[in-house]
Amino acid sequence: MKKEKRYLVPGDYMADPAVHVFNGRLYIYPSHDWESGIGENDNGDHFDMKDYHVFSTDDVMNGEIVDHGKVLEVKDIPWAGRQLWDCDVAFKDGKYYMYFPLKDQNDIFRIGVAVSEKPEGPFIPEPDPMRGSYSIDPAIFKDEDGSYYMYFGGLWGGQLQRYEDNKALECAHLPEGEELALPSRVARLSDDMLQFAEEPKPIIILDENGKRLTAGDNERRFFEASWVHKYSGKYYFTYSTGDTHLLCYATGDSPYGPFTYQGVILTPVVGWTTHHAIAEFKGKWYLFHHDCVPSEGQTWLRSLKVCELEYDKDGKILTIEGTD
């Protein structure tokens, strides 16, 4: 299905959006691409992002997109090494909590927290990363009972293959073929929003026959970019297949899953379909993502886009064409 799309920040390269509605206004929390001069590779070293901006609007498709400026930088974070990748933000008890992946000084991704009294920041980082955190792509979901959950994980440069049962492996293992696919992770957050309240658990995606997806099923298996929203009483776990460039979704009855694969949200765009967000605003649902059209296909220079998202009467997401 072709949909009208809008570039949100045409004057700069932004990607990996997290999107939430705070105080009746829609806020966008993207990563910030720039030309780092580092050669492209599967570890993602060329994505050497070093700061965050926050954007907001009161009209997704036509309104002004306000840039609230730089709200957090690598140099502000006491434990920082490099690569300030995608982030997400949650609100609780008068404070806004930004969760961000960043490599520490040993070049290992951890997840940090920064706090603000305003949704547009600036955000003040905690002195240490979250205990027991690893990998990338933190996404926060608030359930109807007031519980907050973090979903996270990413393959290849995201380092998820370096862990099993939340412990670092001596040698990384990336499953292949009929081996079970590596799952995303989920953990409920502590009351103070600064730590995990439990050991992270695997997010299991099942096929139509109730069997776990395998690593070789790379047009359906999880690669990165977890995002969860709720629609018509169901939990929708949405994610990227990474090297096959699809955004997919699976549904379940619990924030922990298991989730049953349902289909494709977005077909491949120019560049990598790596990260997205889904949000409802003023009675409509929207898909936020990125592509590399403005940078003429340079995968490390991405631009934010948005289009309307629709469901059919059975709650199926109508597939959107990535290029049109």
Q: Which residues are catalytic?
A: 16, 224
> In whole angstroms, what separates CA 9 from the centre of its chain?
18
CA neighbor of 14 nearest in space, from 273, 289, 281: 289
Q: E-strand spans in 146-302?
A: 148-152, 163-164, 167-168, 184-188, 201-203, 205-206, 224-231, 234-240, 247-252, 259-266, 277-281, 284-291
The counts of H helices and E strands in the chain are: 0, 24
- Say if residue 282 is exposed, middle or buried (CB neighbours under 10 Å; 0-12, 13-18, 19+): exposed
Collapsing DSSP to helix, strand or coil, 150 comes out as strand
Q: Which residues pair with 303 in a beta bridge?
A: 291
Residue whose tokens read 């709650």: 315
CA distance linking residue 43 with residue 162, whole number of Å: 13
CA neighbor of 140 nearest in space, from 101, 103, 169, 98: 98
